[in-house]
């Protein structure tokens, strides 16, 4: 059987990483709770590898009320302190506080735009950008769109939303198709 060609960053010895790449990464997401999940997980990743966060994803879902922004926005200091004792998540006080803060800001954006999805997708004109990635050197860490998205989120009071984090968020939820040109998912994702 021929091995499928995948993006160079996928460690094929890690089945959960392969599944994430093959089924989720780059697929356009319009569901607000899923967008809140990706935003929270990308912020948690800051300074760490994505795989570190991916391994803890189920624990994050349990700790963060299945990424329901209404519930997370209501977390108080006692709940935040409890979360910092949870070995299943990244126990960083600033990141936990940011997730709770971001949930409240997320709800404000939903009120203003009708959905976070409508707000988020405006930064790419409502259509996923199709990038040409011929080699590792073609991957970028930011873009003019992630710069604008990040700047606007910061203005709205979001935390841990620098342009690099936001570009990773855009990749994860399909605002940009950054699958390598030869990756078997490139054309499939482009067709979505």
Calpha distance 76→97 (Å, rounded) = 10
| Cα–Cα distance list, 178 to 43, 85, 103, 138 (Å) | 20, 36, 27, 9
Any catalytic annotation for residue 51? Answer: no
**CA R_g for the chain:** 17
Per-residue burial over 16-46, b if 16 or more Cβ lie within 10 Å, else e, is: ebeebbeeebbeebeebebbbbbbbbbbbbb
Any catalytic annotation for residue 50? Answer: yes
Find the catalytic residue in 17, 25, 37, 42. Answer: 42
Any catalytic annotation for residue 42? Answer: yes
Q: Helix H segments across the chain? A: 15-23, 32-45, 50-55, 57-63, 69-73, 77-83, 93-113, 116-121, 144-155, 163-172, 184-190
Find the catalytic residue in 9, 20, 30, 51. Answer: 20
Find the catalytic residue in 17, 25, 37, 50. Answer: 50
**Are the C-beta atoms of residues 83 and 96 closer than 8 Å to each other?**
yes
Give me the active site residues, please.
20, 42, 50
């Amino acid at each position: 059987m021929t091995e499928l060609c995948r993006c160079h960053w996928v460690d094929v010895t890690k089945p959960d990483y392969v599944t994430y790449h093959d089924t989720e990464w780059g697929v356009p997401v319009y569901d607000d709770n899923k967008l809140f999940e990706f935003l929270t997980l990308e912020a948690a990743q800051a300074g760490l590898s994505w795989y570190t966060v991916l391994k803890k994803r189920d624990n994050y879902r349990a700790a963060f009320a299945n990424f329901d922004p209404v519930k997370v926005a209501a977390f108080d200091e006692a709940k935040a302190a409890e979360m910092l004792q949870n070995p299943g998540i990244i126990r960083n006080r600033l990141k936990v506080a940011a997730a709770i803060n971001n949930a409240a800001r997320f709800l404000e954006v939903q009120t203003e735009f009708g959905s976070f999805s409508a707000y988020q997708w405006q930064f790419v004109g409502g259509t996923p950008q199709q990038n040409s990635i011929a080699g590792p050197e073609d991957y970028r860490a930011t873009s003019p769109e992630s710069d604008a998205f990040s700047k606007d989120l910061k203005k709205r009071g979001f935390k841990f939303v620098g342009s690099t984090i936001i570009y990773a968020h855009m990749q994860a939820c399909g605002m940009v198709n950054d699958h390598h040109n030869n990756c078997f998912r490139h054309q499939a994702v482009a067709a979505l």
